[in-house]
Amino acid sequence: MELIGSTPTSPARANWDAAMGFWSDVQWWEDWQLRFLVLASLFFQYFLFAAALLRKRRVPLWFRSLVWLAYQGGDVVAVYALATLFNRHRKDEVAAGAAAHLDTLWAPVLLLHLGGQDGITAYSVEDNENWRRYLLVAASQIAIAIYVFCKSWWSPDGRLLRAAILLFVPGVVKCLEKPLALRNATVNSIANSSDPTMEMSIEEDDGTLPTAMDSLEEFVTAAKKCVEEEARRDPPLFFDDTMNDKPYHLFVDLSHPYSIRLRNLQVMAARSGKEEAHDRVRASISQAFDRLFTKHKASYGGVLRAVVVLLTFADIGLFQESRRSAYARADVVVTYILLCCTAALEFVSACVVLGSGLPLPDDQVPQYNLIGYLARTRRRPGIRHLAAMLGLKDQIDWLWCTAPPEPSRRITELVHDHVAGGWKGYINAEVDRSSTSTTSRSPVDDYRRFNDGRGQRTLERAKCGGRGVESSLRLPFDESVLVWHLATEICYFDHVDAGGEATRRSRVISNYMAYLLLVRPWMLMPGARRGLFRTVHAELKEMLKDAPSEPPGVEDDDAGKKKAPPRAMYEIARKIIQKVRNPPAAASSGGARRPWGRKAAAELVRKAWDVAYDLMEFSKVRMEESRKKKVMEEEKIKKTGDPVSVSKERMSEIMSSARTDGDDEMWGLIQGVWVEMLCFSAGRCRGYLHAKSLGKGGEYLSYVWLLLSHMGMETMAERMQRTELPAEGDAGGLVTPSDLEDDDGDEPAQLDRGATSSTAVSGAAVVPVVVDDDIV
């Protein structure tokens, strides 16, 4: 009996201990969860500040995913912390203790965190359109903070109360600043806003350029005259070389007045315009990014940051003088960390806002090569198969098959030379109205033909008229890009070590256009088909299965060694060239019926070979012309009337030099065609898509697009409003808010109503907005 009455059963004792341990853990979490939440919110703000410094750069996919999680999670943690603070004060759980009043000082700090970082107000352009949701969240959290503040109004610690009051006002202002900044970056807000820089430029007219231009013909005539005068001017005319407008309106497809576009063209056409073009465009891209995704350069931003910094440091002093011994030690430590770290963060943020702002955007050109893609996909097939099963094939391809990016400054200069050459040599200043010929063209016709060029002007100038080359430029644009990309690779691997800078730049543009087709098809052209790339890849992969053996005499000495990736590309390209140069006889006769897609891919490969063949024949013709010219010059040097036989050594030198001249001519032609294609694509991508790409590091296509606009090329508004009838009026006439009826400017932009169009040469197509499925 004694044993039974004094000793409880073991299972009951174990259950009791487990229950007590569980409730002890729950109580510990109730005591510490608010401290963890405010510290986690502080950590998110520091991470977002560091990430904002890299927002304009091209960062890895995994890092962009972390930034997105921090952008979403920072608001969630701050809201949860304020809700926890609200529940504590609502239940009056610690009303009798001093700790209830210490966490009141955390509420305005959480409002500061909820206002976010200046450099990452919006993660994507879609966040700007959701500004009402952010305003509702901000209003609800401010109400909670006011409730907590009122519950602590009768605190006996006056210094702590004054510290909370000092920080409460800037906390509310910064919390409301975020949704207002998002609203300021919406499409309708940008479209309805004025441009003070442009208005000032119009008011400060110096009379050097015409301003009363009411038709496109007058603008084209004045623009050509301006470019020619700037080219002949020596020394250059001294004028303010800053751009005369901000780029914001261009991102919502609004043109600027002809007078402003003419002033910008004057700046770009100056002697120093070519060297400075890249930096000017880069600065415009940076300004657009600041308007769309940050609170930088706001008129009140610097003042608010300075006030917040001063008040935060004042709060630290007031808290130091308060009755800290009456509070829990853990709360005191957390409060010191929260105030000191927030003050330091606001101070650095103020320095960035009042200083030079965020670093300039990335200006490198991504690279994607079809032959390289084919070479890399032949490795690690098991991992690629697993990625395909998990739906991660595109991400794996993007990580493994993207070549290192290339610098873009020289390409920008090529685009500048192309446009300046068009104004000087292709576009006529005036039409011969006395002529009765039906083939005479007006300046507007030349202007539009130049903007519609996809390589035809380069072929005309070089007098290259091969059937394959000419027909390739009449294909749908995505097919034309793929054909010329493959033809460029065939010429490169067939003419090893041929050409110079033109060869490298041609392949850089070619690889970039292939990248756009595979990764950003909606920016390349409305209706561009990403599947073309994969279909042609499958056709080339099938061709390699039964590729003919290597001809004698071309085996590599290191055939037994493992090939590096560039060598693998060379081997694959050589096999493809052999296959297309000598197609099997069975391909056109019997055999199994091939799917339609495979037939279309095989046809594109054949057209690529036709283009490459025409280009290599063009090189041979130019080589022969150069050889004859050099031989004639050699004979003239002898100064004899009789024919002179050139020595074998000298003839070998002449042949080598002539071959180099022929290759240079060929690669100069390829480079010219790619520059025209690049400009053709940039001019047909809507401004909204350029704005959307800025949130992911930007695309070099946006640089080309802005440069074309600065140099007076056709805008999207003009292209969409083309008519066969004579057009009058200025499609980019200045619109100020005073000319509009009162409008809240909040209606969602009509960006999802565009209809998909063909990828033919016509530019009168409405570009649909493409929303990415992934978070990055």
Q: Is 710 exposed, middle or buried (0-12, 13-18, 19+ CB in 10 A)?
A: buried
Residue at 618 is within a domain: yes
Single residue among 653, 682, 711 that ends a domain in this structure: 682
Higher-scoring residue by pLDDT: 524, 313: 524
Average pLDDT rounded to a whole number, residues 107-135? 92
Residue-level pLDDT at 416: 96
The predicted structure's pLDDT at residue 596 = 60
Nearest alpha-carbon partner for 711 in 422, 360, 456: 422
Claim to verify: residue 476 and residue 340 sit in the same structural domain: no
* Residue 724 CB coordination number (10 Å): 5
Q: What is the DSSP letter of 8?
A: -
Token couple for 772: 């990415």
Residue 234's pLDDT is what? 63
Report the domain count for the chain: 2
Q: Output the pLDDT for position 403.
A: 81
**460 and 341, same domain (yes or no):** no
The predicted model gives 56-69 an average pLDDT of 90
Note whether 500 and 646 are same-domain residues: yes
Q: At 484, phi and psi to the nearest 5?
A: -70, -30
User: Per-residue pLDDT for 88 more than 70?
Assistant: yes
pLDDT of 33 above 60: yes
Per-residue model confidence as pLDDT tens digits over 415-433: 999 999 999 888 876 554 4
What DSSP string runs through 496-548? TT--SHHHHHHHHHHHHHHHHHHH-HHHHSTT--THHHHHHHHHHHHHGGGPP
- For residues 117 and 49, the answer to whether their CB atoms sit within 8 Å is yes
| Range 328-352 average pLDDT | 87
Give yes or no for residue 66 having a pLDDT over 90: yes
Residue 417 lies in a domain: no
- pLDDT tens-digit map of 271-283: 888 899 999 999 9
φ, ψ of residue 562 in degrees (nearest 5): -75, 130
Is 647 in the same domain as 617?
A: yes
Q: Tokens 């090329």 — which residue?
A: 713
The SS3 call for residue 136 is: helix
**Predicted confidence (pLDDT) per residue in 8-20, tens digit:** 556 776 666 666 6
Residues 337 and 371 in one domain: no
- The answer, yes or no, to whether the previous bond of 566 is cis (omega within 30 of 0) is no
DSSP state of 426: I
Residues 342 and 463 in one domain: no
CB-CB contact of 708 with 419 (8 Å): yes
Whether residues 350 and 377 share a domain: the answer is no
Q: What letter represents residue 360's amino acid?
A: L
Q: Of residues 255 and 752, which shows the higher confidence score?
A: 255
Residues 400 and 483 in one domain: yes
163 vs 340 pLDDT, higher one: 340
Integer angstrom CA distances of residue 100 from 33, 39, 324, 714: 14, 18, 13, 65
Q: Are residues 542 and 611 in the same domain?
A: yes
Tokens 């943690």 -> residue: 77
Q: Is residue 645 part of a domain?
A: yes
Please indicate, yes or no, whether residues 456 and 350 belong to a single structural domain of this protein.
Answer: no
Q: Domain range holding 320?
A: 32-190+296-354
What residues does 365 pair with on adjacent strands?
406
Contacts of 300 (CB under 8 A, 6+ apart): none
Same domain (yes/no): 349, 380: no
Instruction: Kindly state whether residue 702 falls inside one of the protein's structural domains.
Output: no
The DSSP code sequence of 289-312 is HHHHH--TT-TTHHHHHHHHHHHH
**Could you tell me how far CA 269 lies from the centroid of its own chain?**
26
Res. 301: pLDDT tops 70: no
3-state secondary structure of 405: strand
**Tens-digit pLDDT profile for residues 679-707:** 999 999 999 999 999 998 899 999 999 99
Looking from the CA of 560 toward its CB, the CA atoms found within 13 Å total: 0
Query: How far is it, in rounded angstroms, from Cα 270 to Cα 206?
Result: 17
Per-residue pLDDT, 651: 78
Is residue 475 domain-resident? yes
Pick from 537, 531, 513: which is nearest to 523 by CA?
A: 513
In a domain, 216, yes or no: no
In a domain, 761, yes or no: no
Q: Is 277 left (phi over 0), alpha (psi -120 to 50) or beta?
A: alpha
Domain C-terminal end among 658, 682, 706: 682
What's the mean pLDDT when you consider all of the chain?
Answer: 79
- Pick the more confident residue, 716 or 152: 716
Q: Are 192 and 133 in contact (CB under 8 A)?
A: no
Q: Are 487 and 400 in the same domain?
A: yes
Q: Could you tell me which of 699, 675, 678 has the C-alpha nearest to residue 687?
A: 699
Domain annotation covers residue 506: yes
Give Dmax over CA atoms of the chain in angstroms: 142
In terms of pTM, does the model score above 0.85?
no
Cβ neighbours around 173 below 10 Å, total = 16
Band of the pLDDT at 163, cuts 50, 70, 90?
confident
